[in-house]
Chain A
C-alpha cells in the first residue's frame, strides 16, 4: 500500500489513517499556529488559530482528518492575516499586560503574537473586570488572561476526574468558572499535582510564589520563536509543562 499524503503549502506530507492535518503537520515538523490544541487531549477546534484552507474551505487543522491528496494552505498571507486578527481579538477581550505578567516568555499567546507579527491590539480594549482567585494555598487563578481554550476543563474532567473547571455563560459573557458553590478554588479538591494545573497555555493557572524565578534569556520562547519549536510542541506532555 502506498503512503498517503496531503499537499501542505505544496509540500507532500505523509499521514497515517486517523490523523488530522495538525497531526500530520507536526509529525513533519511544520508549524501550524494553535492555542487550544494539546497532543495529550482530544482536539476541539475552538480557538480557530489553526484555521487552514483545505480543498478551498476554511477548516480547523486540529480536527480535520487528513485525506490523501488533500491540498492544504497554511503559511499564507491571507491565513496569517486572519490569525493575527483572531489574536488581536483575544488580546482585547481579556486583560493581557505582558510587561508585568509572570508568564511572559513562556506564554503561547504572546509567542504567537510575536510569531504572527502582531504589532498592536487594533481593536478597542474591553477591559473586563475579572477578580483573581487567590484562595488556594498553592495556586493562583488570574482570570484576566483566560482565552477559553478549555484545556484546564478537559484535563480536570478527562484526566484528573475532578471537574474543577467549566465554562459558564454564552457568547461574549462566556467565562471560566470554578465548580464550587463558593466559586473559590480553595473549596475544590484541586491540587498542584493535577494535570489541569500544568496545561494552561497562558497565565491563568499559576503556581504561587514562583513568578519571575526564571531569568530573561532562559524562558521557553526567549531563544527560539514558537514556530521553531514544533517538535517540542508535538511531543509535549503536561508533566513537563511549567506553570
Chain B
C-alpha cells in the first residue's frame, strides 16, 4: 500500500487558520455529495474530503417488512442501477425460500436483466456523465461540458450513447416490466419469461449494439493514446482490488466467489464464499462521513482498503467469456506491462470493455430458448438468513437479510459498490488536489479536476449511505475565533 495513503484526510493545522472551499454539489454523478478543501495562507491544500450529504436508512426501515417485498422496495435506493439491488436482494432471499439452484430459465432471465442493466448504466456513465470532460478537456468551457455539448460537437457519439442506453433499458423493461423499478425477480425465481416477439425485437438491434459498444472501447483507447501521461497518472494511487469472479475464473457480473488481489496483482483471497463476507470485510466508521469505509479484515483499515468496479473486475478475472471483450481485455492488460493498472481514468477503458461484454452476452442469451421457458421459480427448505452478492455496474454489491418465523425481515445489511470505493475516491481526489490545486488560484476548471477523479469511479452516492444507528454524532458550537464552547455527543 502506498505510504501516502490517508495523507490530507485531516489537516494538522489549527482550526480557524485554514480557508474552506467546497464543491457542492458534485455534479454529473448519481446522488448528492460534496468535496471540502482546507487551504492554508499559501493556498497549499491541507485537507480534502469527499462527503455524502444525504441520508437514506433503508437498512432500518426494511426491518419488519415481509421478505417478498424486499427486492422491490430496496431497489428504490437508486434510479440508475435499481436492477442491481433488485437482483442482489432476490439472490439473498433465494436462500430464505430454499431455492439453492434456480431453474435455468429463471437464472438466464435474471442474467439478461442484469446485463441489460450493466449496458445501460455504463453507457449512461461514459457518454452522458464523463465524456464531456474527456472529449473537451477537464478545464474547458463549463457551459459546453455536458451531453448537450457532446451532441453538438460529436453528434454520432452522443447518438450512440443515447441509443445504447435505450437498448439496455428495453432489455430491463422486457424482463422486469418497467424500465426503472420493475418487479421481475421474486425470491426463488422470476415472474415472467420473454415472448418470442420480444426476443425478436431485441435481436433486430443487438448486432448494432455490439458494434457501437466496440466503437466505445475504441474511443476510450484513442483518448488514452492521445495523452498517456495524463491518463496513466491522473489521481493515480495503488490499492488492493476486489470483485466476484465466476467459477471458471471468468468475468461474471451475476454470480461467483470473491477474489482479492494486492496492489501488485498478487492474489490475496480466492474462491471466498460470499455468505462469509463478514469474515472477509469489515467496515470502519469515521465521524466526518455518512459513508462507511470497508477494508479487508486480515489487513486492517490502514492497508486493507480496496478498489471495486470495472477497473478491479477486468484485472481480477482470468478471462472474459465473449470473444470481442476478451480481445479488448488482453490489450488492456498489456497496457499495464505486467503490472496492475491503478489509474482512475482507466476505469473508463475497463468500463467500456465491460459494456462490450454485456452486449455480447445479451446477444448469446437472446439465442437461448431457455428465455422462453415455463419453469420460472422453485423453493425448498425454508431458512432464516440469506446473502446475495452481485457485481453491480459500480462494483461488488452485498445484500444480507435475516427473516423470522413470521416472514418478516429482522436484519438487513447492505454494502454497496460506492461504499467499497469510499477510501479510493478520497485518495484519488487528494492526489489530484495535491498535483493540480496546490498553491494556485482556484477556478471552476481546476475544481472540475476533482470531480473528474470522482466521476471515474461512477459513484452512486445515494446508494452509499447506511450508517443509521452506528454513527457517533458530535455537535460542536464554536465561537468566531474557532474555539469550541459547547459540545454534544451521541455514542451511537
State A200–B65 Cα separation when bound (angstroms). 19
Contact residue among B191, B192, B407 (Cβ-Cβ distance under 8 Å from A140):
B407
Render A121-135 as a binary contact track against B, CB cut-off 8 A, 1 for contact: 000000000011011
- Most A CB contacts (10 A, CB to CB) among B65, B69, B97 go to B69
B66 touches A134 (CB 8 A): yes
For chain B, residues 66 to 93, give those with C-beta under 8 angstroms from any C-beta of chain A.
66, 68-69, 71-73, 76
A100 touches B69 (CB 8 A): yes
Residues of B with C-beta under 8 A to A134: 66, 406-408
The stretch from A36-44, A209-217, A226-234 touching chain B is A209-217
State A54–B112 Cα separation when bound (angstroms). 56
Residues of B with C-beta under 8 A to A212: 68-69, 71-72, 183, 186, 191
Render B336-354 as a binary contact track against A, CB cut-off 8 A, 1 for contact: 0000000000000000000
Residue of A nearest to B175 (CB): A215
Contact residue among A99, A132, A206, A210 (Cβ-Cβ distance under 8 Å from B76):
A99
A212-B183, A212-B191, A215-B191 in contact; A100/B72 too (CB < 8 A)?
yes
B181 touches A209 (CB 8 A): no
A99 touches B181 (CB 8 A): yes
| Interface residues on chain A, size class | 20 to 34
Residue of A nearest to B71 (CB): A212
Render B173-202 as a binary contact track against A, CB cut-off 8 A, 1 for contact: 000111001111010000110000000000
Residues of A with C-beta under 8 A to B97: 209
Tell me, rounded to whole Å, the shortest Cβ–Cβ distance linking A143 to chain B: 12
Residue of A nearest to B188 (CB): A209
Residues of B with C-beta under 8 A to A211: 66, 68-69, 72, 186
- Most B CB contacts (10 A, CB to CB) among A132, A135, A216 go to A216
In the complex, number of A-B residue pairs with CB atoms less than 8 Å apart:
59
Interface of A is mostly: loop
Residues of A with C-beta under 8 A to B68: 102, 209-212
Tell me, rounded to whole Å, the shortest Cβ–Cβ distance linking A133 to chain B: 9
- B64 adjacent to chain A (CB < 8 Å): yes
A215 touches B407 (CB 8 A): no
- A82 adjacent to chain B (CB < 8 Å): no
State A131–B97 Cα separation when bound (angstroms). 24
State A143–B182 Cα separation when bound (angstroms). 25
- A236 adjacent to chain B (CB < 8 Å): no
State A209–B66 Cα separation when bound (angstroms). 8
Tell me, rounded to whole Å, the shortest Cβ–Cβ distance linking B112 to chain A: 15
A214 touches B64 (CB 8 A): no
Tell me, rounded to whole Å, the shortest Cβ–Cβ distance linking A120 to chain B: 18
B72 touches A132 (CB 8 A): no
B76 touches A100 (CB 8 A): yes
State A212–B68 Cα separation when bound (angstroms). 8
- A235 adjacent to chain B (CB < 8 Å): no
Residues of B with C-beta under 8 A to A210: 68
Residue of A nearest to B189 (CB): A213
A215 touches B177 (CB 8 A): yes
State A209–B69 Cα separation when bound (angstroms). 9
State A132–B191 Cα separation when bound (angstroms). 26
Interface contacts beyond A99-B76, A212-B191, A215-B184: sample of 5 additional A-B pairs, CB < 8 Å, sorted by A: A99-B181, A132-B65, A209-B97, A211-B68, A211-B186
A-B contact pairs, 20 of them (CB 8 A): A99-B72, A99-B73, A100-B72, A100-B76, A102-B68, A102-B69, A102-B72, A132-B64, A134-B406, A140-B407, A206-B66, A209-B97, A209-B407, A210-B68, A211-B66, A212-B69, A212-B186, A215-B191, A216-B182, A217-B177
| Residues of chain B having any CB pair with chain A under 8 Å | 64-66, 68-69, 71-73, 76, 97, 176-178, 181-184, 186, 191-192, 406-408
| Residues of chain A having any CB pair with chain B under 8 Å | 99-102, 131-132, 134-135, 140, 206, 208-218
In order of increasing CB-CB distance, the 8 nearest A-B pairs are: A216-B177, A100-B73, A134-B406, A215-B192, A211-B68, A215-B191, A212-B183, A100-B72
